[in-house]
Homo-oligomer: A and B are copies of this chain.
Amino acid sequence: VPTTFGLKAAGWLLAVVEARRRLAELGALLPAELGGAAGTLAAFGADGPQVVRLFAAELGLAEPLLPWHTDRSLLARLGAALAIAAGGCAKIGYDVALLEQTEVGEVREPPGEGGSSTMPQKRNPVGSAIAVACSRRVEASAQVLLGGLAQEHERAVGGWQAEWGALTDALAFAGGAAAAVARVLHTLEVDAARMRANLELGGGAVMSERVTLLLASSLGYERARETVAAAAARASGSGGSLRAELAGELPEGELDEVFDPTTYLGAAAELVDTALDHYRKDEGWVTTATGV
């Protein structure tokens, strides 16, 4: 069935907005860590909890309920949130790269990036590939952070040490994925005419759901389905169009509209507005919450 590029992009937007919100929330949760070797604060005498409070305030970090050197949940959550954010970028990159295929040609990353050394006309999906590649690295780093949860006693053998580099990588590659996909989206050329033309490729096959539902009101659903399937098979076999094969089944005056994909977009426009509203509200929230 047909959809709009706008609805596809609205899906991208929501995933990214949610990922950004969670990162902002986690950033506000990250607590200071101070507890001494066993987390008892014994070296500070009776002042331990007060020292932690002042230390956290000084660093602008949240105050921990407990010293958390043995509870790595927040780092694991951060790793997962970064992987989800990068995954949202990779989803965009993937879709863009698929739309960029020569045979599809619905969008293009701008020239100047990713020219092939021997094929000057070629535009490679460079930004999309970077987003996907970075996302794979974040995912692997998140795995290390999840694996760090099962640490030994108050001082882990290796799991804890592996976290440092993994967290750095997760942050760097998530940033890389976001930057790459931002550049792609800011410069993407969208070819609406080609999108429209591709919808026609199957000779109306993209409208078969609508036709089936229409015929079902007179034929019943099962017979409608069989009728359309048979017509689709004939069209596919002869290289003809579904519309031609079904011409006798529908009033001729309705054929144009029935096979017009732009009139079978359901709530696409409304859903795009919903996503944009959500984005604008979230934008305000993030600006306030993070001061950025």
Contact = CB atoms under 8 A, between A and B. Distances in A.
B264 A42 contact: yes
B84 A76 contact: yes
* Chain A binding surface, main DSSP class: helix
Contacts of A210: 42-43
A248 interface: no
Given A15-B73, A66-B275, A73-B18, A93 B40 contact: no
Nearest to A210: B42
A42 B116 CA distance: 16
A66 B11 contact: yes
Given A101-B103, A209-B119, A271-B66, A84 B149 contact: yes
A144 B135 contact: no
Given A121-B242, A158-B132, A162-B137, A265 B40 contact: yes
B131 A40 contact: no
Contacts of A1: 36-38, 40, 42-43, 118-119
A233 interface: yes
Contacts of A45: 266
Interface of A: 1-4, 7-8, 10-11, 14-15, 18-19, 22, 36-45, 48-49, 65-68, 70-73, 76-77, 80-81, 83-84, 87-88, 90-91, 93-95, 97-98, 101-104, 111, 115-116, 118-122, 124-125, 128-137, 139-144, 146-162, 165-166, 198, 201-202, 205, 208-210, 212-213, 225-226, 228-229, 232-233, 235-236, 242, 264-268, 270-271, 274-275, 278
Given A84-B146, A124-B155, 13 more contacts: A7-B38, A40-B271, A48-B267, A49-B270, A65-B274, A73-B84, A87-B150, A90-B149, A94-B151, A120-B208, A120-B232, A121-B202, A129-B158
